[in-house]
Amino acid sequence: MLVSAIITEKGGDIVSVQSGCSLLECTQVLKQHRIGAVLVFEGEALCGVLSERDIVRGLSTEGIEILEKPASALMTRKVITCSPDIDLRAALKMMTDNRIRHLPVEENGQLIGVISIGDLVSYRIKESELEAAALTEYVAG
């Protein structure tokens, strides 16, 4: 199964903030959308990813005052992306190797969605269940 199947099924909604958005506002966006990370833009350019973990780490080192700082203060600047035509296993490997949980998906230089590790695990389980059902049917049939 390809990443494009996930984007097709879940949709290409992209939740983002501008780099100057306060971290407090970012937490409200995360809560409102029930997500674990947002993409951070400077104008039209993707410049980072901000996760709940980034915010928690910031709080633990700098205290509550960190929430007044902009998203750019804590975001991960090295944004790793994938294309929609890669296999789920390859996407999982990218996430594991880079120790990330959210992966923006780009096609022809255009951002078309974001997948999470949870999305990949869910689809991998579905894929395994389909394979098991096919094998059971083959053996029984």
Task: Write down the domain spans for the chain.
Answer: 3-140
Structure-model confidence comparison of residues 121 and 129, the more confident one: 121
3-state secondary structure 81-94: CECCCCEHHHHHHH
The pTM of the full predicted model, rounded to 2 decimals, is: 0.85
Give the tokens for residue 71.
Answer: 């998203």
Cα(35)–Cα(49) distance, integer angstroms = 12
Judge whether 15 and 104 are in contact, CB under 8 Å.
no
In this prediction, residue 135 carries a pLDDT of: 75
Closest CA relative to residue 105, chosen from 122, 21, 71, 94:
94
φ, ψ of residue 135 to 5 degrees: the values are -70, -40
Coil/strand/helix, residue 69:
coil
| 57 HSE (CA, 13 A, CB side) | 9
Q: What is the pLDDT of residue 121?
A: 84
Q: What confidence score (pLDDT) does residue 38 get?
A: 97
Mean of the per-residue pLDDT values of the chain: 92
pLDDT mean over 60-82 = 96
Residue with tokens 């890669």: 86
When comparing pLDDT for 84 and 136, which is higher?
A: 84
pLDDT tens track for 32-55: 999 999 999 999 999 999 999 999
Say if CB 48 and CB 40 are below 8 A apart.
yes
pLDDT at 32 (0 to 100)? 97
How far is residue 75's CA from residue 97's CA, in Å, rounded to a whole number? Answer: 19
For domain 3-140, the CATH architecture is: Roll (3.10)
Question: What's the rounded mean pLDDT across residues 100-129?
Answer: 89
pLDDT at position 128 over 80: no
In angstroms, how far is CA 93 from the centroid of its own chain?
Answer: 14
Split at pLDDT 50, 70, 90, the class of 110 is: very high
What average pLDDT does range 95-103 have in this prediction?
94
Q: What's the pLDDT score for residue 125?
A: 82
